[in-house]
A and B are shown apart, each in its own frame.
Chain A
Amino acid sequence: MRRRLMRALGMIALALGMVIVGRGPLYAADGSIRIGSFLAVTGPASFLGDPELKTLQMYIELINTDGGVNGRQLELIHYDSQANPKNAVGFVKRLIDQDEVDIIIGGSASGETLAVMPLVDKAEVPFISLAGSIKIIDPVQKWVFKTPHTDRMACQKIFEHMQGEGIQRIGMISGTGGFGKSMQGQCQEVAGDYGIEILADETYGPKDTDMTAQLTKIKGTEGIQAVLNPGFGQGPAIVTKNFRQLGFEVPMYQSHGVASKKYIELAGEAAEGVRLPAAALLVADKLPDTDRQKPVVVAYKQAFEDRHGAGSVSTFGGHAYDALFMAVEAMQRCQCSDAAGVRDELEKTAGFMGTAGEVTMSPEDHLGLGLSAFRMLEVKGGDWALLD
């Protein structure tokens, strides 16, 4: 009897748990426009999600004090996916079914974005992703947009620069994490378009602490004119150090994955002379005054750093800025917030100047960025310098 009671109690606890979750929409409808978001605020990709969330919160607050959009306040509903696709799927179901959001801005990582795409497509909710992979917009899905440039564009920008330098034969060393792996594939695909041959193609694990072996192999390959390292996190910093230790005499190209001050800090002296493509935001102050993008990136940088400290700005938060304002401007243009209306308007975005570059969308292009979105940079004196 007692045992039965105890079991019953356990079951009641379970039921209670369900009831607590089931309190119904936490956010009562009060005429506000609801922006749903799932971001990797904690976990391995927190460097993406954290500035993204801060950006959304800051600007939604600013927009609301200015009277909102179309006379309605914005309301942010966000969940922390920890970059886990399974969590993301759960939270997107919650955003759609329970919170009944008008638009979703989120998905810090590619995996979680790809995981939720079938859901938003079925629910017909406009979704602006903040993740990099080209698979998000190619092939185009009706309800899915994205703001960050793709890996393919980074490869193209790098190869374009190499072409200008007369480099034709390169060695590549890629991380096996999601970012490195995706970019490695994209670079292999487009290298031919720029007459570039990848003579050595090495990889390293995301947690490896020494890449001397792979680099030695690249160094021993005849005719290498440059080394390209698609990768993310601390891997590229180690590659850069090992690269210098081995005394390479060819230039090193990094990807936009290391476009943060952290990389220069980690790699130290070894980073000198490293070239990489990056968004204009990184060199906001160094852009010429004639640059049309300058006012946007300088203002964003200023606003973010005023609130979160000097040097805290990152391109990732910029992706969220672009997504939010693209959505807000679409809503203002159509004077609507219904899913279909906003989606159609988003697709008509033209000449939008964001932190990533100028965006012009079309039914065939849900990214709308050109190669000019990237600037080639070189590390000089422990800071970024514009190459072109």
Chain B
Amino acid sequence: MLKVLASPRGGGLLVLIVLIALLPLGFQNNFHYDVAIRVGFNAIVVVGLNLLIGYAGQISLGHAGFLALGAYASAILTGSHDWPPVLAMLTGAVGVGLLAFVVARPVLRLKGHYLAMATLGMGMIIAIVLNTESQLTGGPDGMSVWVSFGVAGLEANTPRQWYWLVGALLVVWVWLALNLIDSPFGRALKAVHGSEVAAEVVGVDTTSVKVTVFVVSAVVASLVGSLSAHYISFISPQEASFFHSIELVIMAVLGGMASIYGSLVGAAILTVLPQVLTAFEDFEHLVFGLVMMAVMIFMPKGIVPSLGLWLAGRARRPGGEAAP
């Protein structure tokens, strides 16, 4: 483990672990924990989504649908059927995985706008079903989730417990994702992104690669959906809304496509910023828009990759002198 952390790949992970461990020192109340937990949830989803969007170059505007399905699976199975939370969560994830698999094959044959449209449509269908099947889902008003999340007698009830749970999951998932993109599978993903034809020529099964990463990101969204349903104790069909999907994509793009740490930064900024901007009252949305525009204009590759390039550029020109 120590060796892993000392490696270049692990360096960032070490920073992440230290950060998660030290952040609570600055927390003054449960609200701070709450914001941190939400950042964690979003970060996990966005890392998964970034594998699909940033690395494999496939867009999805329907991931909030998967997230909501996971959330509702947990809410309904633990609420009305007394299932243990973990079993409900895994059942939801398997269901979402199957759905994503079935949908992925035809959908991922589409490219560009068509793929965006298809995933968008799928997300909307999920939202409509959740809205209208009110006997099951509570309809537009949503439903409460009364059961606490727990495994083998250990329950997460307080914000502090949730913080450590989400923090640990985030670290594990980032570690897995870093390894994934550095594996033959990760290189296949990037090859698909670069050129599907070229990837096929060198023997990459492009369909299977795309389907796998789509299913993985959907399952991760579903798991987070289940956890957040237990954490927030309430879910509504707005979880599946188009805007939520867009929000997740924005997090990935803002932080940086094809950057795991970018996903974390994007999720953190988009979760924290609205809380900070409440100080601007009526100008909140204006300032929010300005920040987004500024980032996209000055850092078109996203925050983390752009900063990385900038730092690399500076290092090449020590003392700020122009390179020969």
**Chain A positions near chain B (C-beta within 8 angstroms):** 2-11, 13-15, 17-22, 24, 26, 42, 79-80, 84-87, 89-90, 93-94, 96-98, 110-111, 114-115, 118, 133, 135, 176-178, 181-182, 205
Residue of A nearest to B260 (CB): A7
| A177 to B132 alpha-carbon distance, docked (Å) | 9
**Shortest CB–CB separation between residue A307 and chain B, in angstroms?**
15
| A4 to B12 alpha-carbon distance, docked (Å) | 6
Contact of B234 with A7 in the complex, beta carbons under 8 Å: no
Known contacts A10-B307, A85-B238; decide if A176 and B19 are in contact (CB<8 Å): no
Contact of A85 with B142 in the complex, beta carbons under 8 Å: yes
**Shortest CB–CB separation between residue B260 and chain A, in angstroms?**
9
**Shortest CB–CB separation between residue B243 and chain A, in angstroms?**
9
Contact of A7 with B12 in the complex, beta carbons under 8 Å: yes
**Shortest CB–CB separation between residue B194 and chain A, in angstroms?**
21
Contact of A2 with B311 in the complex, beta carbons under 8 Å: yes
* B232 interface residue (CB < 8 Å to A): yes
Contact of B29 with A3 in the complex, beta carbons under 8 Å: no
| A15 to B233 alpha-carbon distance, docked (Å) | 27
Known contacts A13-B269, A20-B272, A115-B142; decide if A176 and B34 are in contact (CB<8 Å): no
Residue of A nearest to B306 (CB): A6
Contact of B264 with A14 in the complex, beta carbons under 8 Å: yes
Known contacts A19-B26, A20-B272, A85-B142; decide if A13 and B15 are in contact (CB<8 Å): no
Assign chain B's interface to a size class.
35 or more
**Shortest CB–CB separation between residue B49 and chain A, in angstroms?**
17
Segment touching A, from B82-90, B181-189, B201-209, B277-285: B277-285
Chain A residues with Cβ below 8 Å from B315 are: 2
Q: List 21 A-B contacts (CB under 8 A).
A: A2-B311, A6-B307, A10-B12, A10-B255, A10-B262, A11-B12, A18-B268, A20-B276, A22-B26, A22-B32, A84-B238, A85-B238, A90-B38, A94-B275, A97-B31, A111-B238, A115-B142, A118-B233, A176-B132, A181-B140, A205-B128
* B141 interface residue (CB < 8 Å to A): yes
Contact of B234 with A118 in the complex, beta carbons under 8 Å: yes
| A83 to B190 alpha-carbon distance, docked (Å) | 40
**Chain B positions near chain A (C-beta within 8 angstroms):** 8, 11-12, 15-16, 19, 23, 26-32, 34-36, 38-39, 128, 131-132, 134, 139-142, 144, 232-236, 238-239, 255, 261-262, 264-265, 268-269, 272-276, 278-279, 284-285, 303-304, 307-308, 311-312, 315
Chain B residues with Cβ below 8 Å from A22 are: 26-28, 32
B144 is contacted by which of A79, A118, A177 (Cβ under 8 Å)?
Answer: A118
A90 is contacted by which of B34, B265, B273, B312 (Cβ under 8 Å)?
Answer: B34
Contact of A114 with B285 in the complex, beta carbons under 8 Å: no
| A135 to B134 alpha-carbon distance, docked (Å) | 14
Known contacts A17-B273, A98-B31; decide if A3 and B141 are in contact (CB<8 Å): no
Contact of A115 with B19 in the complex, beta carbons under 8 Å: no
- Beyond A22-B27, A94-B34, 6 additional pairs, beta carbon < 8 A: A8-B15, A10-B12, A18-B26, A21-B35, A115-B142, A177-B140
| A243 to B232 alpha-carbon distance, docked (Å) | 43
Chain A residues with Cβ below 8 Å from B132 are: 176
Contact of A11 with B236 in the complex, beta carbons under 8 Å: no
Chain A residues with Cβ below 8 Å from B30 are: 93, 97
**Shortest CB–CB separation between residue A98 and chain B, in angstroms?**
4
Contact of B11 with A115 in the complex, beta carbons under 8 Å: no
| A22 to B278 alpha-carbon distance, docked (Å) | 13
Residue of A nearest to B139 (CB): A181
Contact of A14 with B311 in the complex, beta carbons under 8 Å: no
Chain B residues with Cβ below 8 Å from A98 are: 28-29, 31-32
A93 is contacted by which of B31, B262, B276 (Cβ under 8 Å)?
Answer: B31
